[in-house]
Amino acid sequence: MRFLRALGRLWLVPVVLVAWEVATRAAEDVFFPPPTTIVARMHEMWFSGPAERLWLTDAALENIPTSVGRLFVGWLLASVIGIVLGVMLGRSALLSRFIDPLIQFGRAIPPPALLPLFLALFSIGAQMQIVTITSGIIWPILLNAGDGARHVDRQHLETSTVFGLSRSQRLFWVILPSAMPKIFAGLRLSLSLALILMVISELVGSVNGIGFQLLDAQRSYDLPGVWGTIVVLGVLGYLLNSAFLVAERRVLSWHRGANRTT
Amino acid sequence: MLEISNLTHVYGSGPGAHHALGGVDLKVAQGELVCIVGPSGCGKSTLLRSIAGLLHPTGGTVTLGGKPVERTPDDLAVVFQDYSRSLFPWMSVGDNVALPLRRKGMDRPRRREAATEALEQVGLAGAEGKYPWQLSGGMQQRVSIARALAYRPALMLMDEPFGSVDAQTREDLEDLTLRVRSHHDMTILLITHDIDESVYVGDRVVVLSKAPATVVGDLRVDLPGPRDQITTRENPEFVHLRAEVGRLVRGMRDDPGAAS
Amino acid sequence: MLEISNLTHVYGSGPGAHHALGGVDLKVAQGELVCIVGPSGCGKSTLLRSIAGLLHPTGGTVTLGGKPVERTPDDLAVVFQDYSRSLFPWMSVGDNVALPLRRKGMDRPRRREAATEALEQVGLAGAEGKYPWQLSGGMQQRVSIARALAYRPALMLMDEPFGSVDAQTREDLEDLTLRVRSHHDMTILLITHDIDESVYVGDRVVVLSKAPATVVGDLRVDLPGPRDQITTRENPEFVHLRAEVGRLVRGMRDDPGAAS
Amino acid sequence: MTGRSLFDNRLLCGAIGVAGLFCLAELAGRTGLIDPIVFPLASSVVGRAVGLAADVDFLADVASTLGAWAVGLLLTVLIAVPVGFLLGTLPWVETSLRPVLEFLRPIPSVALIPLALLLFSDRFDMKVAVIVYAAWWPVLINTMYGLKDVDPLAKETLRSFGFGPMAVLWRVSLPSTAPFIATGVRLAAAIALILAISAELLAGGSSGIGTFILEAGSSPDALEYTVAATIWAGAIGVISNSLFTLAERRLFHWHLARTEGAR
Amino acid sequence: GSEPADTAQASGGGGLEKAEITIGALPIPDSAALYIANKRGFFKEEGLTVNIETVQGGAQAQQSLMGGSLDATQTNYVSTFLAVSAGNKLKIVADLYQATPNSFNIMVPKDSPIKTPADLKGKKIAVNSKRNIGTLSVTSVLKAHGLTEQDVTFLEFPFPDMAGKLQQGVVDAAWMTEPHLTAVQKNIGAQKLADTMTGPTADFPIAGVVVTEEFLAKHPKTVAAFQRGLAKAQQISASDRKAVEEILPTYTKIDAATAAVITLGSFPTSLDETRLQRVSDLMVEQGYLKSAIPAKTILPDSNG
Ligand SMILES: Nc1ncnc2c1ncn2[C@@H]1O[C@H](COP(=O)(O)OP(=O)(O)OP(=O)(O)O)[C@@H](O)[C@H]1O
Ligand SMILES: Nc1ncnc2c1ncn2[C@@H]1O[C@H](COP(=O)(O)OP(=O)(O)OP(=O)(O)O)[C@@H](O)[C@H]1O
Ligand SMILES: [Mg+2]
Ligand SMILES: [Mg+2]
């Protein structure tokens, strides 16, 4: 039953796919191959391996897990640092006065422009890529956490002051939960940004990963390959987002309940 | 225990400034229950927030146990007038009540037990698992009372704590407050609009004038204890005091000149 | 005018479900002022929200002027129990009061004038330019009353509207409500915890049992009008009715069996 | 007391913070922690960045980038806020569109810009399209999350006075979501700037900060030029953010009044 | 500027189908003739206004060509052949740049143990773009020393970053061109390991100007005018190094002093089918192309 309902939510997908197929076939543009061609190319690239390896090819096994691994590490790092720093900045006016310009500065810098710096600071490979991902996606979390922590309902803060809650109790039981809706908005944004940054981090000096494959396909004018990589990114994004929403629903159940109207 | 002298507070500045407190003087002894009455908007909540250290008054001093109040004093509990916004919607009712008890160094089962007991006392047995937004207004108010009572503070500040419950529950809560107070030697400041209530539960009734608020009456309630909803209210002294307080409150309203 | 029959409402489902209304029957005639009293958490606000079309009851029907209520009926005003949350913090008090008047097709100056007048009536002259969060609790409550009164609805629902103001202001507001009602032929449903108040302002007093709520008493108040705070309250009929209502409310509490 | 008032000065504190970072970076370069060949010295970069202020061509580049940025950001808000409201208020629309939206969200600019090049014959349009595509997500998501945060009682109040759903949206949901949206717009502003520069970098053109960096690529001092231009991007970010913050403070003073306080 | 300004619109001289075109160019020495032609008014003489826009690389520029934001673009021949093999309909209308000795070298750090290209086995080599001239020419050097492409790892870095990467040891060698070649020798004392433009890649064609087949078919006169204007400038570039040195600082960030010392390629003055065919053949040999593309098919039919 739940499965059927989940399927029902996907009704738009086949519609879009068919429309896409029809439109691209009509256009006959080499740059816009029809989905069937893309899928065939994807199959060839990633899913034509031996059965005992779930049909995954060497390319799939080499590139997808490494990329996704780096993505997760980068995202988790960004979440932790972003929430900690954001809450600190949100709660301490003094600190934010000192650091805020730096943050606004860092936020506006194109991640590719930071690559040389990271290349200088970190050894090439996973470390540098994770730093690139983290530094690129931390901003939505940082900003949302900062705003969330800054704008806690005054009455809630006063209540915790009055009952003498310690700083950490106040943080964990009052400030964080109340900033949670905003923090989750930031986390959700940064999750798909992480996919984008993953690709960017693999553009320079890398030897594997989904972004590397995208670049490789672009370099060899393998347009179905380019599209196939984009599709993989999109599907990954959808899956990650769905998992994220499940987690969010659990953590923010109070929020939905408290703000429900008929 | 608590000494307030010449407390003044002005909200805002310039032409739009509002003089809420116009020099309040008040002394409360250890273990006393003082009721504060006064017209709506006169500055009662402002006074209470100054005592709780939530607001820096623009003038005068508040000292608690000899020390000036600059930040929120230890061992204090407040029942806010806006009770619904003072409960945390992300916690169950039980957790809301148990949260402050962490400060008391209680372990988890003891906190739970204390919360359950306090909720039972205010007539909310079995509501621990619900969330505040699943409760009616009066129930939320009782949760915030339970939270303050379970905390067993040395000083308790209550801002119209029984305003949203039915008459019978209100009487029960009044008696509960009196009981808890005498058991645990609390000092209580209670703001109320119900003149009967102020005389019934208070050792003293302090009447504030309209803004800028000053103390215009400070009546000692000499009723025999333990008090009882029926006999106490029939006591001629009760009837006399209540009329007296009523007259003071009304007087303040009709003759603003008396306030300054 | 208003007809409620066998109204039931269950919050949630499964084992945690809460039966709030257990079959409420009530008829209110055009121009009547009906007071509803009942223990805290029994379902008064739930009943009111069903009438306002803000909640779809799980059973029974509400009809207003012969038509079943499915969405919010026209020409209705509500004073919510949680008044502070029902005021919009981004608007000044004047704008808060004037906003619903847009529905009445009034132009800007007339809306303003009506808002100023309503605020004056509730004792808040000169507060138009302030923001709700600059007001005391009682003042906020009066703003939300002013908003409802200025709207001059055909049906007014008031959920403990006078709970946060001092005794004198409360009496003034009671009289104001009575006055406005008779001037504009409103039908009013008023939830209160103050038994005296219910008898004083009501044409009828309806007593609800504890949850799941049903009507356990429906008393007609036959007091001579126009009512007056002093003489009416001294009327023996008043004293009798108030004792009667008190007994009903208390009875419901002690004997839960009576509720079902 | 004087120390306190010194620290109350936002500008001064910010300047101290920036100066601190500058010193750190310079030190890292001087001590050899970061080889100046690998990443140029802070002082030479800042010198170069200051020098650019006198370069008329570069200023024209900045103006051109800012033009696309402003138009892109404006369009972003105009599109994302209404769509956010649509998705936030009609759950079935949201659940239907979600797979498609979530599929589109992680498409990187490096894949997107080549496609945009194919679709737009005008470079300015192309830039704006790319900006809108990337920058509208934070506004959209923050709008949707902000809508979930609206006090239901506020909505019910308006409904009880007989206002329709559109009025509730306009008079309650919008104002109370506005601070949430504002955060999204501030996020989008930086993303829009990044995308404007990236589009210029990848697609080229006749003017723009990205084109400047592209041209600098041929110089032996390419790194220094690139970092100097990046500093300009950062500075634009700081200035635009300050303007947004200022505007927020004016518009949402009610929000601050209810939430600031007890520290 | 890309409005399909239609055919018989006689504006300026000679009734060109389109009197104003936009061309993409990279800020590198290869495109010097374009700027010279523009500066000295050679295009104007033909009644043609040419707007030159900076582009990042051949691939994106070809996409801009398809999208219509560019009418013509500079691109390197490897990219062109790859694009054509992928089904793009392109025509090369002018030759721009050709390799000379020491214009594209493999560099190694100062004290590198790598002494000959044969030592590159198992090493990392930086190139600016994979599957392009860099990898193609390096591979041909490797082949000459008994290695294959699989014996090394190519890493992509922008030219300006390569000095740092060599210094840090992130890569063991880097394939570079001017002005970075000169700079890397001066700054970190890097050494030349091999010239990649020798043997099979000697005098290798590097870059030219392409348009879409459709553009050529619709605007033959415009293209011819463009070719005539460019040819004059190409002639100057080929014979007068000073002219190139003067123009370089105006469109790149190469200063005059650097321009004077760098090694430049040569500027061929005609489009030559056999020379272009070498690119295709080498690409087939190294597997960049599945089958040979006759150079004739991407040259305009009538060399006007
Ligand atoms: N959203 C909800 N979810 C679950 N239960 C609810 C919800 N809202 C109210 N209830 C329950 O329904 C019952 C009736 O609530 P209601 O607010 O109608 O009471 P009330 O009569 O207005 O009480 P009070 O006088 O205290 O305001 C309460 O027991 C409450 O716990
Ligand atoms: N934040 C504020 N800014 C400006 N004025 C304020 C603010 N808070 C309160 N006031 C004003 O101060 C006065 C006293 O408010 P206070 O809340 O102390 O009244 P109160 O005695 O508690 O009234 P009530 O019985 O209605 O709760 C009121 O007139 C109110 O308008
Ligand atoms: Mg108050
Ligand atoms: Mg209620």
Position C79 scores a pLDDT of: 94
For residue C54, give the chain D residue with the closest CA.
Answer: D156
Position B174 scores a pLDDT of: 93
When pLDDT is cut at 50, 70 and 90, the band that residue E12 belongs to is very low
For A127, the 3-state DSSP assignment is helix
Q: Based on the fold, state whether residues D81 and D60 are members of the same structural domain.
A: yes
Which stretch of A88-92, B76-80, E16-20 has the lowest confidence by average pLDDT? E16-20
Domains and CATH numbers, chain C: 1-75+189-260 (3.40.50.300)
Dist. CA B118 → ligand 2 center (Å): 31
Residue with CA closest to ligand 2 atom 12: B20
Task: Give the residue-averaged pLDDT of D206-234.
Answer: 84
Interface of C with A in 54-83 (CB under 8 A): 54-56
Identify which has the larger pLDDT, D202 or B50: B50
When pLDDT is cut at 50, 70 and 90, the band that residue B249 belongs to is confident
Q: Which string of b and e fits E168-188 if b means at least 16 CB within 10 Å?
A: bebbbbbbbbbbbbbbbbeeb
**Cα of E286 to nearest chain D Cα, Å:** 27
Interface test with B, best of C128, C136, C191, C253 (most B CBs within 10 A): C136
- If you average pLDDT over each of A202-216, C40-54, E48-62, which comes out highest? C40-54
Res. E4: pLDDT tops 80? no
Position D6 scores a pLDDT of: 63
Position E303 scores a pLDDT of: 43
Task: Report whether residue C12 contacts ligand 1, using a CB cutoff of 6 Å.
Answer: yes
The H-or-E segment that residue B152 falls in is: none
Identify which has the larger pLDDT, A1 or E261: E261
Dist. CA C45 → ligand 4 center (Å): 4
Q: Based on the fold, state whether residues D33 and D80 are members of the same structural domain.
A: no
Which stretch of C63-67, C157-161, E285-289 has the lowest confidence by average pLDDT? E285-289
Q: Based on the fold, state whether residues D144 and D85 are members of the same structural domain.
A: yes
Ligand 2 atom closest to the CA of C166, numbered from 1: 25
Q: Which residue has the tokens 């129990």?
A: C81
pLDDT-above-70 percentage for chain E: 94
Position B255 scores a pLDDT of: 45
The environment of the single-atom ion ligand 4, i.e. residues with CB closer than 5 A, is B 136-137; C 45, 81
Res. E8: pLDDT tops 50? no
Which residues in chain A are closer than 8 Å to D258, comparing Cβ atoms? 153-154
Res. D1: pLDDT tops 60? no
pLDDT digits (tens, 9 = 90+) for E108-139: 888 888 888 888 888 888 888 888 888 888 88
Instruction: Give the tokens for residue C154.
Output: 């055909």
Position E9 scores a pLDDT of: 42
Lining residues, ligand 2, CB within 6 Å: B 11-12, 18, 20, 40-46, 81, 211; C 134-139, 164
Q: Where are the alpha helices (DSSP H) in A151-252?
A: 154-162, 167-170, 176-201, 210-219, 223-251
Task: Report whether residue C45 contacts ligand 1, using a CB cutoff of 6 Å.
Answer: yes
Q: Based on the fold, state whether residues D115 and D189 are members of the same structural domain.
A: yes
Position D204 scores a pLDDT of: 78
Res. E156: pLDDT tops 50? yes
The C-alpha atoms of residue C96 and residue C105 are separated, in whole angstroms, by: 16
When pLDDT is cut at 50, 70 and 90, the band that residue D4 belongs to is low
Which residues in chain C are closer than 8 Å to B44, comparing Cβ atoms? 136
8 Å CB contact between A202 and A210? yes
Ligand 2 atom closest to the CA of C137, numbered from 1: 27
| Contact pairs from chain A to chain B, CB under 8 Å | 74
CA-to-CA separations, B234 to B135, B231, B258, C196, C246, in angstroms, rounded? 35, 5, 32, 17, 17
When pLDDT is cut at 50, 70 and 90, the band that residue D5 belongs to is low
Break chain A down into helix, strand, coil percent, rounded to 5.
Answer: 80, 0, 20
Res. D67: pLDDT tops 90? yes
**Cα of A156 to nearest chain C Cα, Å:** 14
Q: Which ligand is nearest to the CA of A154?
A: 2
Position B254 scores a pLDDT of: 47
Interface test with A, best of D142, D172, D173, D242 (most A CBs within 10 A): D142
pLDDT digits (tens, 9 = 90+) for B197-223: 999 999 999 999 987 899 998 999 888
CB proximity C99 to D under 8 Å: yes
Residue with CA closest to ligand 1 atom 18: C43
Amino acid at D5: S
- If you average pLDDT over each of A51-55, A226-230, D258-262, which comes out highest? A226-230
Dist. CA B211 → ligand 2 center (Å): 9
8 Å CB contact between E65 and E211? yes
CA-to-CA separations, A28 to A34, A218, A226, B143, E52, in angstroms, rounded? 9, 19, 17, 69, 31
pLDDT digits (tens, 9 = 90+) for D148-187: 888 888 998 888 888 888 889 999 999 999 988 998 999 8
Instruction: Give the tokens for residue D194.
Output: 């990044």
For residue D134, give the chain A residue with the closest CA.
Answer: A193
CA-to-CA separations, E137 to D102, E121, E131, E195, E283, in angstroms, rounded? 42, 16, 10, 9, 10
Ligand 2 pocket: which of C136, C142, C145, C162 to mutate (most atoms within 8 A of CB): C136
Task: Give the residue-averaged pLDDT of D57-72.
Answer: 92
Report DSSP state, residue A188: H
pLDDT digits (tens, 9 = 90+) for A54-101: 777 777 777 788 888 989 999 999 999 999 999 999 988 888 888 888
The C-alpha atoms of residue C126 and residue C119 are separated, in whole angstroms, by: 8
Task: Give the residue-averaged pLDDT of C60-84.
Answer: 90
The C-alpha atoms of residue E207 and residue E99 are separated, in whole angstroms, by: 9
Query: Nearest Cβ partner of A98 from D17, D144, D241?
Result: D17
Ligand 1 atom closest to the CA of A260, numbered from 1: 1
Instruction: Verify whether the Cβ–Cβ distance E155 to A206 is below 8 Å.
Output: yes
Position B257 scores a pLDDT of: 41
Position B143 scores a pLDDT of: 95
Res. B119: pLDDT tops 60? yes
Task: Report whether residue B136 contacts ligand 1, using a CB cutoff of 6 Å.
Answer: yes
Task: Give the residue-averaged pLDDT of E294-300.
Answer: 82
Q: Do chains B and E touch (3 or more CB pairs under 8 A)?
A: no
CB proximity A155 to C under 8 Å: no
When pLDDT is cut at 50, 70 and 90, the band that residue B258 belongs to is very low
Task: Give the residue-averaged pLDDT of B99-123.
Answer: 91
Q: Based on the fold, state whether residues D228 and D158 are members of the same structural domain.
A: yes
Task: Report whether residue C11 contacts ligand 1, using a CB cutoff of 6 Å.
Answer: yes
Interface test with C, best of B9, B19, B131, B136 (most C CBs within 10 A): B136
CB proximity A255 to B under 8 Å: yes
Instruction: Give the tokens for residue E43.
Output: 């295009």
Interface of A with D in 128-147 (CB under 8 A): 139-140, 143-144, 147
CB proximity E263 to D under 8 Å: no
The C-alpha atoms of residue B166 and residue B186 are separated, in whole angstroms, by: 26
Boundaries of domain holding D17: 1-37
Which is it for the CA torsion D194, E165, E155, A202, positive or negative? negative
For residue A42, the tally of other CB atoms under 10 A from its CB is: 21
Ligand 2 pocket: which of B13, B45, B85, B192 to mutate (most atoms within 8 A of CB): B45
Instruction: Verify whether the Cβ–Cβ distance C85 to D172 is below 8 Å.
Output: no
Q: What is the DSSP string of chain E?
A: ------TT---TTTT-S-SEEEEEE-SSGGGHHHHHHHHTTHHHHTT-EEEEEE-S-HHHHHHHHHHTS-SEEEEEHHHHHHHHHTT--EEEEEEEEE--TTSEEEEE-TT-S--SGGGGTT-EEEESSSSSHHHHHHHHHHHHTT--GGGSEEEE--HHHHHHHHHHTS-SEEEEETTHHHHHHHHH--EEEEESSSGGGTT-EEEEEEEEHHHHHH-HHHHHHHHHHHHHHHHHHHH-HHHHHHHHHHHSS--HHHHHHSPP-B--SS--HHHHHHHHHHHHHTTSSSS---GGGGS-SS--
Instruction: Verify whether the Cβ–Cβ distance E68 to D201 is below 8 Å.
Output: no
Task: Report whether residue B231 contacts ligand 1, using a CB cutoff of 6 Å.
Answer: no
The CATH number for D86's domain is: 1.10.3720.10
Instruction: Verify whether the Cβ–Cβ distance A204 to E164 is below 8 Å.
Output: no
What is the reported pTM? 0.87
Query: Nearest Cβ partner of D38 from A120, A150, A188?
Result: A120
Identify the chains in contact with B, defined as 3+ C-beta pairs within 8 A: A, C
8 Å CB contact between D204 and A168? no
* Residues 6 or more apart in contact with residue B14 via CB below 8 angstroms: none
Count of structural domains within chain D:
2
Ligand 1 atom closest to the CA of B166, numbered from 1: 25
Task: Give the residue-averaged pLDDT of B16-34.
Answer: 91
Position E293 scores a pLDDT of: 83
pLDDT-above-90 percentage for chain C: 59
Q: Do chains A and D touch (3 or more CB pairs under 8 A)?
A: yes
Residue with CA closest to ligand 1 atom 27: B137
- If you average pLDDT over each of A30-39, A110-119, B238-247, which comes out highest? B238-247
Instruction: Verify whether the Cβ–Cβ distance E56 to D201 is below 8 Å.
Output: yes
- Segments making up each domain of chain A, as ranges: 71-261
Q: Based on the fold, state whether residues D190 and D254 are members of the same structural domain.
A: yes
Res. D260: pLDDT tops 70? no
Task: Give the residue-averaged pLDDT of A151-160.
Answer: 88
Return the CATH fold of A71-261: MetI-like fold (1.10.3720)
